[in-house]
Amino acid sequence: MLTRTYNITWEDFPGNRRIISRLTEQTPFLQKGLFFDIETTGFSAEKNALYLIGCCRFTGRSWQITQWLAGNESPEEQRLVLESFLGQLTPGDLLISYNGSTFDLTFLEKKSRQLSIQENLTSFDHVDLYKDLRPLKNFLHLNDLKLKTVERFLGIFREDTYSGGALIPVFKSYARTHTHAEEETLLLHNYEDIQDLLYILPVLAYKNIFLDGQFIINGSLRIDGETPAIQWTLTGDTPLPVSLPRTSLSLAGLCSLKTPLDAVLETRDGQIFLTLPLIREELKYFYPNYQDYYYLPQEDCAIHKSVAAFVDKKFRRKATAKNCYIKKAGEFLPQPGEKISPAFKIHFDDRLNWFEYCAKQNFSEELHACLQAYLRFFVLGSF
């Protein structure tokens, strides 16, 4: 078995080193994480060989990558590789992989049983970056979620040109000849798999901001004109590594208003600009407990029964869910659900709610929750 060790410093990272440094500082799992990737001669742990494992951990100043390459397909060599990797695990480690929950971990567990090696891989928490990125695939305009596709999105390009499957005959040849060229080819592919697990970490900024709500509201800009709107500027805890095309989503199908209603998302210079339509209308607030109200047809509003007791019975009737409301004129912005109270509607059956616009709301928790719901809407396609 061959063992190879390397160190990666912050200076070795590509242009996003500032983002990775900040992610490492702000994300505890990266500081205690053990990144790993395996190479095998096939998908079956019972029939195929485990010939290479690479792993990487943060040492406080740099990232240390260690690789173990089997000399051949014998059980003895596979045992050395696997036991060397398992010996790196310490209590509290967090395993980090790319699609490892589907393949790598399962293969290692089955191979351990086959070789009668005691392991406790299931006792470690595991972060699968592939699963973290899966909801973002369409939003980031990725054709697929292969590691190399994510690398290209971030402007990362490999020296290695092989796929895992293409390396199987290379390893089988190496097991016979042990040439230096084949050895370097095998190690380079695994090294860049591990290295690029670090290099793609900036893509987590999209998950942190759009799905987890890790952003602050810097302020808002009022846009007047034919289609008035309010535009918020948002900044994530970590800046976005790549600007995305301007995107708009129609809200018109969620309410009975006939005019176009679009939410617009733009990203520039690591910041997010979210624009929502502003309407000047008379909207309705529907009381939830309509059984306690009476509807006054002439005034077209509902009043509580304690007050309705003083109204002539000819001018009142018991309220229903659809007419138990009061009206208010003003400037309103759309909101999913009832993040900001009171929540208004145009008609009772509308799925879109509205809140009255006030510049003082810019830094409220309720507004943050509302804008987070919109960011998730752009990623997932629904509230």
The pLDDT value given to residue 26: 66
Count of beta carbons in the 10 Å neighbourhood of residue 42: 12
What is the rounded CA–CA span in Å between residue 108 and residue 260?
A: 55
pLDDT of residue 301: 97
Please state, rounded to an integer, the average pLDDT across all residues of the chain. Answer: 91
- The neighbour count for residue 286, using CB atoms within 10 Å, is 20
- Is residue 192 very low, low, confident or very high in pLDDT (cuts 50, 70, 90)? very high
Cβ atoms 22, 242 nearer than 8 A: no
What is the average per-residue pLDDT within 116-120?
89
Tell me the C-alpha to C-alpha distance, in Å, between residue 281 and each of 94, 284, 355: 53, 10, 12
DSSP character string of 26-69? H-HHHHSEEEEEEEESSS-TTTS-EEEEEEEEE-SSSEEEEEEE
pTM of the model: 0.87
Query: Taking residues 83-112, what's their average pLDDT?
Result: 94
More confident residue, 14 or 368: 368
Distance in Å from the first CA to the final CA of the chain: 53
Interval 300-329: pLDDT, tens: 999 999 999 999 999 999 999 999 999 999
Q: Of 23-27, 34-38, 46-50, 249-253, which gets the smallest average pLDDT?
A: 23-27
Structural Rg of the chain based on CA atoms: 29
Q: How confident is the model at residue 17 (pLDDT cuts 50, 70, 90)?
A: low
How far is 172 from 72, CA to CA, in rounded Å?
8
Q: Are strands 262-268 and 229-236 parallel, antiparallel or unpaired?
A: unpaired
